[in-house]
Structure 1
Amino acid sequence: MRRRLTLLVGATMCLVLAAFLVPLALLLRSVAADRAAVAAVTNVQGLVAAAGTAPPDELGLAAGQVAATSKRPVTVFLADGTVLGTPVERTVAVELAARRGSSLTVGTGAGREIVVAILGRPDGTAVVRTYVTSAELTRGVTRSWLVLAALGLALLLLGLLVADRLARTLVRPITDLSAVSHRLARAELTARATPAGPPELREVAGALNHLAGRIQDLLREEREHVADLSHRLRTPLTSLRLEAEALAEPGEAARIGAGVDSLERAVTGLIVQARRRGEATGPAECDAASVVRERVEFWTVLAEDTGRTVVLDLAPGPLPVRVAADELAAALDALLGNVFAHTPDGTPFTVTLTPRHPGAAVTIADEGDGIPAAYVERGTSGGGSTGLGLDIARRAARASGGELTLTRTSPTGTAVTLRLG
């Protein structure tokens, strides 16, 4: 924008300077030509005054003196054909002046021919001729044009400098607004814009600051609601834990207790994540190998109860990925939960972790009917669920710079690949 404003002012100034300097340059050339012509006529005026009565000898001597003084050819043509002064051929202009008895100026390609008719001589009309060359007609014009060009260039540079300063005062507030908006996009909600510049920009800065404050208020209310939810969930979780400990079968008690622990960790992770939302934090990172191994071991217990075979193929770790451990665990739980929810008991599945540059890729493949790829969008499900499980995994992948894809491995099999950056 700053460059465009400067170019606009520069183009406008060029048009104004051209409209002003071009006519002035033409006027200077015309004035220089007229000045040279007037000087030539002035030089021969004395000769014209004496030519009416002076004898030919004195007239020729006077013509020679005027030619030497003016450094121009000066010739007197008498009516009897005598040529005095600078010897030149009789021209059409000389013949015309002698016949009409009038003075005239004739322009040629090399200059101007000035002829003056002298009346009253006993032998008839005489003609005084002088010639002004093109060099004399344009003497000083080049220098004047250079001065005009230098003046125009100086004015243009000065105008561009002033335009650049004015454009900077307009662009700087816009740049500051852009910087503040990018900081807000990076969750730096304490960033505020300083109202500056024209009234419209000050109004935009105020609206942006109001928006940032409103976002902070909404996030604070959300964190308070999540904190309240945590207190409401603690009581039923505690009851479930007591019920699990009261079971007579130690294996069942351990299994249900592990489920309660997993649920409590998920709730705690959700609360922590919500409380961190809106705060400036560094990039999250975890070891994908350890998280995948821990979540597959947890779901293996349920797989044994439902008669499923689990194949785990882990690349040697550590495999760092740019996602928090609890978010990756939630994504894996959502994908593995879909396997149990959308395939019949006894359906085997495979979990594969492979390295990629950068990050890693987790693939969960099963031999059941699976989930069509069209159900990846949030809130869409063909199996009676909320449709949020795949969205959780997709958001975790995108947060790390990766993606989530669904592919068919066989007529009845489905593979979900979570690519993590």
Structure 2
Amino acid sequence: MGCQGAWWRPGLPDRRHGGHEEPASREPAGAAVAELSEPRTYDTGVEHGQALLPEPPEMWSYSSLKEVESCPRRYVLSRADYPDLWDKHGYPRLPNPAAIKGDVVHGSLEVIVKALVKAGCLSTRAADAVAVLRDLGGYTAVAEAVLDEQLARLDGNPRISPGRREQLNRTLGEWVPEAREQIQTYLNRMELRSRAAGTHAVEGAPLDRPGKRYPAMEGDHPERELVAEALRLKGRVDLLSVEADGATITDFKTGGEDPTHHDQLRLYALLWNEDGEVNPDTLPAKALVAAYPSRDVPVTAPTAAELADLRGALAARTADADAAVREELPLALVGEHCGLCNVRGLCDAYWGTGTPNTADVPDSGWYDMQGTVVRQHGVKSWVLRETRSGKEVLLRTPNPSFTLPAGQDVRILGAKRTVDPDEEEALIASVTSASEVLTVTV
């Protein structure tokens, strides 16, 4: 899949195996879902792209439902296994700095809030909170430790060159002081609730056994999983605050405000209502909060009638999602979102209708292109005949060692259009150190 006998960029080690960043919201198929005797296979048409397609997950989540509804093909290819490429699950993901930043803030809040709750602190402004933070090493140390964990997930990823990894490490390292400020802002607005007597001080209490499912006592519960078994739905609440008359569900959001965040909170309210293990007394969700860096936004909790309607709608959505995943070739929904898709290089529907011709791309515009490598033109340039337009494009490369497979069809992710002022009609594009080349096999 790509140049020099593989799809990775020149200079990147030839490694088929190793660690990687798991696709977001990946769930293993379980006993509740019928399994086939043999895995379904799908040839994506690129080198090392033979995919073993997954079955529907045992449990759907808010994010996985949204993903399969926006494009079933993307959902399935992201979670397929690629034994000819590496021995990890899913298609290797390119790092998304914004997503990593969000994970660092979330992860740091989880570490700090859990420590505060365990110590019985009700606020970061309380005197005893100083000792807790000191034991953790301070906000910066927590953020750096969580960032290191996030970056470690990229180890062995064949789509990331050493140079790109180094740049990512440097950029995110320089961002840590900003992360510290965000974490402090969230915590300074947060008023924690004391746990019921004995639940935070006894060794082996539920707080010390993450992953175990048990009733949520009065007090705060960071990163608590809620499950609706009958609906095959689950979700992880950033902060579940339980009182005698009901619960407040808070979801931390590091990006801009979005109405879909309200939908996610309403789904969490349904999960809280349905989870008989965590909420055995069926306490209502009395308040929902979308917490942004600058303010908290209250969201109206659904009524009993609205919960019933939501339950019916989600039952239908999960059934439709199951059917979409089980299709012999899941549907591809081509649109503007494809430009950010992690598996667009494997999707024939995208390459058939979703990519522009070079002549239609403005100067310095980034785009994806497909064509046949005709010949080498110079030390750092090649000629490629575009598949859709049939026209020849001069392709400039970053260095002489960047080679392309002559006579082969290739897909290039992240080419940059170049307009020569002395020859504006000439079709010229450039590949950079961040571009990817995939060799087409069919």
Query: TM-score by structure 1 length?
Result: 0.19
Q: Whose strand proportion is higher, 1 or 2?
A: 2
Query: TM-score by structure 2 length?
Result: 0.18
Highest Rg: 1 or 2? 1
Q: Which has the higher contact order (CA 8 A, sep 6+)?
A: 2
Q: Whose helix proportion is higher, 1 or 2?
A: 1
